[in-house]
Amino acid sequence: MRADAAPDSPVELSAEAADYLEYLATQRRASPHTLSNYRRDLERLQALTSNRPPTTINAHDIRRCAARLHAGGLGPRSVARALSSWRGMYRWLVRQGRVDTNPVLGVRPPRAPKTLPKALSPDQASTLLDGAEGDPLRVRDQAMFELFYSSGLRLSELVGLDLAGAHSISEGEVTVFGKRGKTRRVPVGSMALQALQAWLAVRGGFAAADEEALFVSQRGARLSARSVGARLAEFAQRRGLPMHVHPHMLRHSFASHLLQSSGDLRAVQELLGHASIRTTQVYTHLDFQHLAKIYDSAHPRAKKNG
């Protein structure tokens, strides 16, 4: 049996594992799908330890089993799930007095590789945002997405903007409430400013008299985050972009394009509202990808022979 696979045929589980599954089914009322996952993970543990009784397994054995699963091709998340299943069984066995300690405590799964945030290219951003439309709701959408890209806002920050802050926008900046209640001021570019002014000119036709939100729905209430995401996906499709565009992608694009132009990581950190520069440093990898593409296309010793 491969280390990353469950046994090819059903195995006779140890008494401890069988009792634990019975507890999950009868006392915790776990779903059949959950029980199937737990059984597979417990079968893996049994196979990896050559059917040794769970009461004889220690932390070193658990670490070795997790390492074998990963070496056999199981991804970090799947290894983490297996460890969680094993940890749960031993937690129950400790409560039952059948083992003294939980050998899975403190055993961590392998780290999942960090995935870089997806960003639009500058040309794709232009394709998305260039061109005006007369429909009032699309005027609103244009203003939202211009502001997203211009100022690098979080989705929650955008939908949380109030009309009372529009006077600062007219002066070329916007004050937003970020994570942990922190406020920050970020600049608003000229294209975003024009789009916002166009929206403010028609907003009164939608917003309820007492509505404070800057961006409102067709019914006149504050626009929800889910609605913004749906509108952006439709907006990008209509503009001919070949990928799914989500709100956070515009924030990523703001950061990576600004870093490509300025190289000022601290300034990008401040504009994004990141508490730690480590969070911002992911955009240096995006910037390197951009530079690597330029190198591959321009450097005479990097070009492939035709």
Residues annotated as catalytic (active site), given as ranges:
154, 179, 248, 251, 274, 283
CA distance 295 to 73: 34
Instruction: Please state, in angstroms and rounded to a whole number, the distance separating the CA atoms of residues 61 and 226.
Output: 46
Q: How far apart are the first and last CA of the chain?
A: 46
Cα dist from 140 to 76, 157, 172, 210, 253, whole Å? 42, 16, 18, 19, 20
CB distance 136 to 206 below 8 Å: yes
Cα three-residue angle 48-52-54, rounded to 5 degrees? 95
Q: ∠ at Cα 198 (195, 204), nearest 5°? A: 130
3-class DSSP assignment, residue 213? strand
DSSP 214: S
Helix ranges (DSSP H) in the chain: 15-26, 32-48, 59-71, 76-96, 122-129, 136-151, 155-159, 166-170, 190-203, 225-238, 247-262, 265-272, 277-280, 282-298
List 175's β-bridge partners, or say none.
185
Contacts of 147 (CB under 8 A, 6+ apart): 153, 158, 174, 188, 192, 195, 196
